[in-house]
Amino acid sequence: MIRMRKLFLALLFALPFMASAQNKSTLKPGKWYAEFAAQTAAIPFVFEVTNTASGTEVTLINGKERVELKKVVYKGDSVYISIEDYDTQLSARFEGDKLKGVFKRLFAHADSGLPFEAYPADRPRFDAAGSATFSLQGKWDVVFQSEQGDKKNVGIFNEEGGLLTGSILTNSGDLRFLEGVTDATGFRLSAFAGLSPYLIEGKFLDADHFEGYFITAKGRQSIKGVRNQQAALSDPYRLTQLRDGYTSLNFKLPNLKNQLVSLTDEKYRGKVVVVPILGSWCPNCLDEMSFLSPWYNANKERGVEVVGLAFERKTEPAYVQKVLSNLINKHQTTYDILVAGKIGDDKKVLPEIDGLKSYPTTIFIDKKGNVRKIHTGFNGPATGLFYDEFKSEFNKLVNELLAE
């Protein structure tokens, strides 16, 4: 009798906890629509939720791009979605099926977060307001206007089945995969892949001219566009140069095992060497790594090596180990990645370079150890033909150096 009474009391006390576990909120599988509350506009983004044997996964969607986020943690009435590539996080509380939370940059301790809301919905990120008067299809000269001066970039856009996609190329890299719509009011494009959300809004002046804004979490910048099928950037091989009197690089830096590595090491001596200057925080650097990692595995037996120099936001060993290990594991990178220091340390680490203009910057070194070419920026798969042209030029240059 006493035993039955103890069992009854145990069950009585357990019931609230069992009910709590059963009522625990989780992300509903399927498509979701969300908006960031930026200072000057709402920036929409979309994602998809799937349940797997290992737990919940979230996939950010931008045109053809899919950014898989596999670290999703539930705590009480909240969910935490980690974006390990950029050391950022979406954290939110459930309000019924909806989410209300903030996007935070974990590397910035004082970051109060960018508010967002999300709800389950299989809908486009923009609702079209009537039929489009003009088309954004094709290439454009896109000028970003500021008090410091105008900067001409290249826009490349495609319209198919009511969906507008494309990217804007700069001399530092591209804005990656943009997705949106053209309608009677003009056009709208947005993207969010885990670092900084973008929104581009424009109105057509006529079939070949537009004006608008490039909008981020902190503000907006005026832009204008002119249709130009020959639109092109400055030659990326002429933007960054060696200082007078220098012909080679002379760094000696640690890898993640704290072993010092130099271009004079036996591994690199007498070989063609590609040196990408990168950071784990840099989206275009990640695009370049997605290209270089499989390329290196396919070409390393030909007498070519790759060694990356990583400049990070912080220099604490635990932080650097975490972000670079994540990067290497994601891209299955087998070439050396060296710890070069903090962003801005390039003048100290690479005094031979006459000012680093962009992350990434890629240096090509011949078999004698001489720097032969320096490529500024990286325009990746979102840029279509521009990306194909880069790959062709890259392989042509390496083949010429190998043939010497």
Q: Give the pLDDT of residue 110.
A: 75
Across the range 16-44, mean pLDDT stands at 79
* Domain-wise residue ranges, the chain: 21-120, 138-227, 252-403
Per residue in 248-272, pLDDT (tens digit) is 999 999 999 999 999 999 999 999 9
pLDDT value at 112 more than 90: no
SS (H, E, C) the chain: CHHHHHHHHHHHHHHHHHHHHHCCCCCCCEEEEEEEECCCCEEEEEEEEEEECCEEEEEEEECCEEEEECCEEEECCEEEEEECCCCEEEEEEEECCEEEEEEEECCCCCCCCEEEEEEECCCCCCCCCCCCCCCCCEEEEEEECCCCCCEEEEEEEEEECCEEEEEEECCCEECCCEEEEEECCEEEEEECCCCCCEEEEEEEEECCEEEEEEECCCCEEEEEEEECCCCCCCCCCCCCCECCCCCCCCCEEECCCCCEEECCCCCCCCCEEEEEEECCCCHHHHHHHHHHHHHHHHHHHHCEEEEEEEEECCCCHHHHHHHHHHHHHHHCCCCEEEEEEECCCHHHHCCCECCCCCCCEEEEECCCCCEEEEEECECCHHHCHHHHHHHHHHHHHHHHHHHC
CATH topology of domain 21-120: Porin (2.40.160)
Average pLDDT over residues 311-337: 94
Question: Would you say residue 21 has pLDDT above 60?
Answer: no
Convert the pLDDT of each residue in 177-191 to its tens digit: 999 999 999 999 999
Answer yes or no: is pLDDT of 12 > 70: no
Domain 138-227 has CATH 2.40.128.120: yes
Instruction: Give me the mean pLDDT over the 37-45 stretch.
Output: 94
- pTM of the entire structure? 0.87
- At 24, the pLDDT band (50, 70, 90 cuts) reads low
User: How do residues 121-155 score in pLDDT, each as one tens digit?
Assistant: 999 999 998 889 999 999 999 999 988 889 999 99
Whole-number pLDDT of residue 324: 95
Superfamily of domain 252-403, CATH level 4: Glutaredoxin (3.40.30.10)
- Judge whether residue 4 has pLDDT over 60: no
pLDDT at 13: 47
Task: Output the average pLDDT for the chain.
Answer: 92
Q: Which of 97-101, 108-112, 166-170, 261-265 has the lowest mean pLDDT?
A: 108-112
Going by pLDDT thresholds of 50, 70 and 90, the confidence category of residue 363 is very high
Average pLDDT value for residue range 321-325: 94
Q: What value does the mean pLDDT take over residues 277-281?
A: 95
